[in-house]
Structure 1
Amino acid sequence: MADIYPVGVASGGSVVWFAWISGDYDQLMSVEGVAVHAFNRDALDLAVVTAGGTLDWDGETEFDVDSLIASARSGVGVDPEEVINFWNFMTDLFRVVENVPMEMFHSELIDTYDVFFSQCGIAGAIGLESVPFSRRDLDALLIVLRDGRQMVGCCRTLV
């Protein structure tokens, strides 16, 4: 059985929680084409149990989208690892919401994704050279962050 971890996406003072499955193929837990999500921890626990799983809260992740946007706007304090983790999570959510199992969220911005990935620890470990990000990359990142926040916001209506 795969491990299931809670992932919170915070924006505007509220958090939407999702269940992320780590296994041979990482993905979001979904039921009948809808991502398993909730607006508090207890409700997420119940939703995951109802779907036949158990959450591992030791592996909890929370993304603060407002902080990510602020750092992308200013160009200060941008954490490439957090950018890539958020983008990958949005890709998993996008695949469920749009029912496109092999598509990447904002695939047209892959060059920007690659720039941020090049600055992650794993990139150096596999021999990729680090590429500095530009204002253009930060502006592209803002599109990803805003659209990701909007997609999470749409999940609010799917209760």
Structure 2
Amino acid sequence: MASDTAPRPPLPPFTAETARIKVKAAQDAWNTKDPQIVKGAYTPDSIWRNRDQFIKGTEEIVAFLTKKWERENGYRLRKELFAFTDNKIAVQFWYEWYDESGQWWRTYGLEDWTFAEDGRMRKRQMSGNDVKLADHERWFKEGVDVNEVPIEEKHW
């Protein structure tokens, strides 16, 4: 496993292909639900805005993600490239999870990422909304590849 200071290819400046690779690598890391794996993609002084919370540094990131995944059971995430420039990527995402009562939710949102030269993220801003789901409305059921689910506006 890469150390927390190792470069995280692909590196900026991004192309359409390398930006897509970066997005899917983030998706795969977050789907591990392991904060120690996820933190390696961020600079030690990385800053986040996650909804109404402001987070700085990898230790706060680990604490935030640990609490998140204790609450968000059955978490399964899909990210797609929305836009990119030399060192910035915007993604749209959808994830499903259930709470302590067994209620399923889908979170819809957008993220704005800025990268350091070594390919680690130095800024992440997330805006998201949670929508209650009935079991038959879920997209990311067990055994389904999140990348294969057709996401169309008619499903919103």
**Shorter-chain TM-score: what band?**
under 0.3
Instruction: Name the structure where helix makes up a greater proportion of residues.
Output: 1
Greater share of strand? 2
TM-score, length of structure 2 as denominator length: 0.27
TM-score (norm 1): 0.26
